[in-house]
Amino acid sequence: MDHSMHMGSATTTTSAAAAASSSAFSAEAAAACQMQMLWNWSTLNSCFLSSSWHIRSHSQFAGSCVGVFLLVVLIEGLRRGGREWDRWIVRRHVRQRGNEEGIEGKKGTETGTGMGTGMGMGTMVGMAKGTKVTPTLLQQAGRTAIYTALFGAGYFIMLLAMYYNGYIIFSILLGAFVGNAVFGWDTVG
């Protein structure tokens, strides 16, 4: 029985396994996340926020840019929703106050929508001027939910911007532009 032959075979097998492991490690290292903290235009092997958001193809990166764009548009929509929610609270208060005081809703002299109350803006502003409206518990819960969603999404966008990726920052700015153009079209004052 020749033990030297058996020993040589084990060494060869171990060397082959080590070489395979080494090449797998180098391939994994080459495809590892690249997180740069300087201005960059990297697309492939970029990672955002966690290693699970690892960009391995150009289509994944394009999808990430579209997702960031849509998130910023959503933030602008939530801001508008918050303003509309506050207006709804004031309209409801004015309507209840008007009913309590026997004031009938009539069209205001200013142009604009009556906001579904039968009153024009002029009447509502005149009635609500100098009146402070304290939201109910449920109304404040709605306001708080909108604020929390805005705060969380804004923080998420800030973290993405800190990667200094030109494409992601451009997506953020373009989303802000489009979102404000769509949802910021509002009365002023």
Residues 160 and 118 in one domain: no
Residue 153 has pLDDT above 70, yes or no: yes
Q: Return the SS3 of 80.
A: helix
Residue 45 has pLDDT above 80, yes or no: yes
Per-residue pLDDT at 132:
84
The sign of the torsion formed by the CA atoms of 15, 17, 18, 24 equals: positive
Residue 124 has pLDDT above 60, yes or no: no
Residue 88 has which token pair?
Answer: 């709804």
Angstrom distance (rounded) from CA 33 to CA 44: 9
List the end-to-end C-alpha distance of the chain, in Å, as a whole number. Answer: 98
The sign of the torsion formed by the CA atoms of 111, 113, 118, 124 equals: negative
Residues 141 and 189 in one domain: yes
Per 3-state DSSP, the chain is made up of helix, strand and coil in percentages (nearest 5) of: 65, 5, 30
Residues 142 and 173 in one domain: yes
Q: For the segment 100-109, what is each residue's pLDDT rounded down to a tens digit?
A: 665 554 444 3
Judge whether 143 lies within some domain: yes
Per-residue pLDDT at 112:
39
Per the CB < 8 A criterion, the answer to whether 158 and 87 are in contact is no
- For the chain, the residue count is 189
Judge whether 177 lies within some domain: yes
Judge whether 1 lies within some domain: no
Residue 18 has which token pair?
Answer: 């080590």
Judge whether 189 lies within some domain: yes
Number of domains in the chain: 2
Per-residue pLDDT at 1:
54
Residues 178 and 142 in one domain: yes
Averaged over 49-60, what is the pLDDT? 91
Residue 114 has pLDDT above 50, yes or no: no
Residues 116 and 157 in one domain: no
Angstrom distance (rounded) from CA 40 to CA 63: 18
Q: Return the SS3 of 103.
A: coil
Judge whether 56 lies within some domain: no
Per-residue pLDDT at 42:
87
Residue 154 has which token pair?
Answer: 């804004």
Judge whether 123 lies within some domain: yes
Residue 68 has pLDDT above 60, yes or no: yes
Averaged over 20-46, what is the pLDDT? 69
Per-residue pLDDT at 108:
42
Judge whether 77 lies within some domain: no
The sign of the torsion formed by the CA atoms of 48, 51, 57, 60 equals: negative
Amino acid at 32: A
Residues 122 and 145 in one domain: no
Q: Label residue 180 by pLDDT band (50, 70, 90).
A: very high
Per-residue pLDDT at 26:
46
Judge whether 129 lies within some domain: yes
Rounded to the nearest integer, the mean pLDDT of the chain is 78
**Lowest pLDDT segment from 18-32, 57-71, 95-109, 111-125:** 111-125
For residue 172, the enclosing domain spans 136-189
Residues 147 and 172 in one domain: yes
